[in-house]
Structure 1
Amino acid sequence: MCKVTIANTDQSLHFDSDQPNLLTFLEKNQLKPQFHCREGFCGACRCKLNSGQVEYQQEPLAFVRKGEILLCCATPIDDIEIDIPKF
């Protein structure tokens, strides 16, 4: 079970492996990250990956810079810390 830490908060959550991706997992835990397409096309759910590693269930089509991930198609493979933009 991987730990997901949200930067600049006191939240640390344990990723439930039955969740399909980080976006669904965060929503299940009452967090509201930005999103639009839920399929890796638009990049609206882009956030900064401060530490750890993720894998993609499907390779995103949106441009992802080094150090960024798309929550809608990523799952952690070890403990991670992410920085979710606030809008």
Structure 2
Amino acid sequence: MAKPVYAVSVEQGADVQAVQFQHAHTLLESLESQNVDVHYQCREGYCGSCRVQLLEGDVHYNEEPMAWVNEDEILPCCCIPKSNLKIKID
């Protein structure tokens, strides 16, 4: 069964980039494969350095992250989209 493909709108400063999530274990992997620059360190949800703001959409965490995140934030290193997303990277 094929995994769903979701549209991901990425805001970085004044730039907005449209990418797709498909065939990746995490949102971070998908963003990297499409040349979206996201800061990261642990890649497992411990440090929180990949934290981005979730403007629209919903995600599923493969495992609950250890790093603390605000209600409007996600950790791309350990989640996958459940819908189309709009995120903001500082």
TM-score (norm 2): 0.88
Q: For structure 1, which runs of at least 5 residues remain unmatched after alignment?
A: none
RMSD of Structure 2 on Structure 1 (CA):
0.9
Give secondary structure in 2 for the equivalent of 1:27. helix
After superposition, what is the alpha-carbon deviation per residue over 1:22-45, rounded to whole angstroms, capped at 9, x for unaligned? Answer: 111111001120000000000000
Work out whether 1:4 is the aligned partner of 2:8.
Answer: yes
Rounded Cα–Cα distance in structure 2 between residues aligned with 1:57 and 1:9: 29
- Structure (1 or 2) with the greater strand fraction: 2
Q: For structure 2, which runs of at least 5 residues remain unmatched after alignment?
A: none
Work out whether 1:75 is the aligned partner of 2:80.
Answer: yes
Q: State the Cα distance separating 1:20 from its structure 2 match.
A: 0.5
For residues 1-87 of structure 1, what are the structure 2 equivalents within 5 Å? Answer: 1-7=5-11, 8-16=14-22, 18-85=23-90
TM-score (norm 1): 0.91
* Equivalenced residues, count: 84
Give secondary structure in 1 for the equivalent of 2:65. coil
Q: State the Cα distance separating 1:10 from its structure 2 match.
A: 3.3
Q: Give percent identity, aligned residues only.
A: 37
